[in-house]
Structure 1
């Protein structure tokens, strides 16, 4: 499968809400040939409310799925305080999962926390991350080399 151009999104193409981020993640999965489902019910949380995964991407031949929790933040605020709980919640899913995040409201501290968790990826890096996770073909970048 040929690699799509990794050009930065134009400002008009940047998600401006959680729903737009969810659509962008689903679009990326579809462009890679993955099966995509959104708002997938996955049981209940500890106090009873339904738990949903924003996007579930699957590669049938590998029998592998990945849940993607989408987090957008437009302005600085207390929403960041919920992020560690989101990472913990993903551990309770019956499939592997990550947080895909974007938005100008995330502090540098929170961006660092998310990336260091190993369970998060910025939207700009999602395609490459998915190619590695699902073992999809991708062109070698300058400086990368194939090993036998």
Structure 2
């Protein structure tokens, strides 16, 4: 259940940004998108669409240590074979540092903060920047990207 709550918080974070800047991003949850590496139909957590450009987002939260690293590694492999650009947005104290590092340095992983049911960026809004780049949004003039080290806050 915490996975769905995290996914919904990521969606809300993107929706607020989309609404505040009138960006015209369409957002859908749980959409079929190609096949997983085990040849099963893949369902992407969040699908973004704008001006014939797509971005898939897998949302992964792990609050306590466990076997999340296996799921995250499988998800990373899935992202490499998805027919559209896809990223992994993740949070939680249960994700080991080596797995975080692997996700981030792969270019697919973006770590965010997840507190009190809200998603926040860790300093510079990397998630929003990546969405802007992938969907062809001119982000150079947007205030949130000019504030070095300050977070975009949901308002």
Shorter-chain TM-score above 0.5: yes
Unaligned 5+ residue runs, structure 2? 113-120, 150-155
Is the counterpart of residue 39 in structure 1 residue 30 in structure 2?
yes
Distance 1:23 1:69 in 2: 12
Q: Do the aligned partners of 1:75 and 1:105 also contact (CA within 8 Å) in 2?
A: yes
Q: Please say which structure displays the higher CA radius of gyration.
A: 1
2:45 matched to which residue of 1?
A: 54
Unaligned 5+ residue runs, structure 1? 1-15, 144-148
Give 1:26's match in structure 2, choosing from 11, 14, 27. Answer: 11
Distance 1:47 1:84 in 2: 13
Distance 1:75 1:48 in 2: 30
Stretch of structure 1 that moved more, 68-77 or 116-125: 116-125
| Number of residue pairs aligned between Structure 1 and Structure 2 | 126
When the two structures are superposed, what TM-score results if normalisation uses the length of structure 2? 0.71
Once the two structures are superposed, the pairs formed by residues 1-148 of structure 1 within 5 Å of their partners are: 17-31=2-16, 32=18, 33=23, 34-45=25-36, 47-60=38-51, 63-123=52-112, 124=121, 125-134=126-135, 135-137=137-139, 138-139=142-143, 140-142=146-148
When the two structures are superposed, what TM-score results if normalisation uses the length of structure 1? 0.74
Deviation at 1:28, TM superposition (A): 2.6
For the residue of structure 1 that corresponds to 2:88, the secondary structure is strand
4+ aligned runs moved over 4 Å, structure 1: none
Q: Do the aligned partners of 2:37 and 2:78 also contact (CA within 8 Å) in 1?
A: no
RMSD: 2.1
